[in-house]
């Protein structure tokens, strides 16, 4: 999956045209969504697999309504921030039922530099809450993905911050190569932020 971390629809459409035969889907984050809005996302989702990365984090009812609205756009995956708590995640899962959209929980941002044991503890704690809440899976770095896979064998794992060995880390702290992510049992990698 390719992160469309771009300023506008024109740049995103050019990237999609150049890569749609090579990648299996696209991630739309805050920057592009705020710039172009739901109409752009709906059009993209008609033709491609779309992960809407807005990290919903609010009161349970508001998040449930946001998940319902995202499902109406035709996206395939949305995320909520696990820090919102189990009740919020449960409402998000309920809101997605029957829509075909998968809801995953962001555990710890890959830009957060943490000692490995602390990162694993934090991620597994949030993964446990997400599983109890009925979500489909989590977003975590490849460094914690193997532990999540052991804990949640059928959970859906998305890993952002995938880089090739020669690539710059940019503002990311916990990066991995595609090969490392595959060995860790990740379902989807996101190339880019």
Q: Which long-range contacts (CB under 8 A, 24 or more apart) does 52-56 make?
A: 52/28, 52/77, 52/78, 52/79, 53/3, 53/27, 53/28, 53/29, 53/79, 54/29, 54/30, 54/78, 54/79, 55/30, 55/79, 55/80, 55/81, 55/106, 56/80, 56/81, 56/84, 56/92
Q: Higher model confidence: residue 168 or residue 176? A: 176
DSSP annotation of 160 reads E
Q: Is residue 167's pLDDT more than 90?
A: no
Average pLDDT over residues 131-150: 95
- Arithmetic mean of pLDDT, 104-133: 84
Q: Assess whether pLDDT exceeds 60 at residue 102.
A: yes
pLDDT score recorded for residue 173: 55
pLDDT value at residue 114: 64
In the structure, what pLDDT confidence band is assigned to residue 49 with cuts at 50, 70 and 90?
Answer: very high
Q: How far apart are CA 140 and CA 133, in angstroms?
A: 17
Whether 168 shows a pLDDT value over 90: the answer reads: no
- Does residue 170 surpass a pLDDT of 60? no
Residues 6 or more apart in contact with residue 73 via CB below 8 angstroms:
38, 41, 42, 45, 52
pLDDT in the model for residue 172: 57
Residue 190 has pLDDT above 70, yes or no: yes
Is residue 99 very low, low, confident or very high in pLDDT (cuts 50, 70, 90)?
A: very high
Tokens 């503890």 sit at which residue?
121
> Any idea which of 53-57, 119-123, 165-169 has the lowest mean pLDDT?
165-169
pLDDT at residue 145 in the model: 94
Active site residue 55: yes
Q: Which of 1, 41, 55, 105 is catalytic?
A: 55
Given a cut of 80, whether residue 169 has pLDDT beyond it is no
**For residue 75, pLDDT beyond 90:** yes
Any idea which residue has 């998040």 for tokens? 63
CA 190 – CA 193 distance, rounded (Å): 7
Domains of the chain by residue range: 2-191
Q: At CB < 8 A and 24+ separation, what contacts does 46-49 make?
A: 46/74, 47/20, 48/16, 48/20, 49/1, 49/24, 49/25, 49/76
- Judged against a pLDDT cut of 70, whether residue 111 lies above it is answered with no
pLDDT in the model for residue 130? 99
Average pLDDT, the chain: 91
3.40.1780.10, 3.90.550.10, 3.60.150.10, 3.20.20.70: CATH of 2-191: 3.20.20.70
């Amino acid at each position: 999956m390719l992160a469309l971390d771009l300023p506008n629809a024109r740049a995103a459409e050019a990237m999609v045209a150049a890569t749609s035969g090579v990648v299996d889907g696209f991630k739309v984050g805050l920057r592009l969504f705020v710039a172009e809005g739901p109409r752009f996302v709906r059009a993209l989702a008609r033709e491609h697999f779309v992960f809407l990365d807005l990290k919903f984090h609010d009161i349970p009812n508001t998040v449930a309504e946001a998940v319902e609205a995202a499902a109406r756009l035709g996206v395939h995956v949305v995320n909520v921030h696990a820090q919102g708590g189990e009740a919020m995640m449960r409402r998000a899962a309920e809101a997605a039922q029957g829509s075909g959209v998968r809801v995953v929980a962001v555990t710890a941002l890959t830009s957060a530099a943490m000692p490995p044991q602390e990162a694993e503890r934090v991620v597994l704690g949030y993964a446990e809450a997400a599983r109890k809440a009925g979500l489909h899976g989590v977003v975590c770095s490849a460094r914690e993905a193997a532990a999540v896979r052991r804990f949640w064998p059928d959970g859906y794992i998305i890993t952002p911050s995938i880089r090739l060995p020669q690539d710059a880390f940019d503002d990311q702290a916990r990066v991995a190569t595609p090969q490392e992510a595959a060995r860790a049992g990740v379902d989807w990698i996101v190339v880019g932020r």
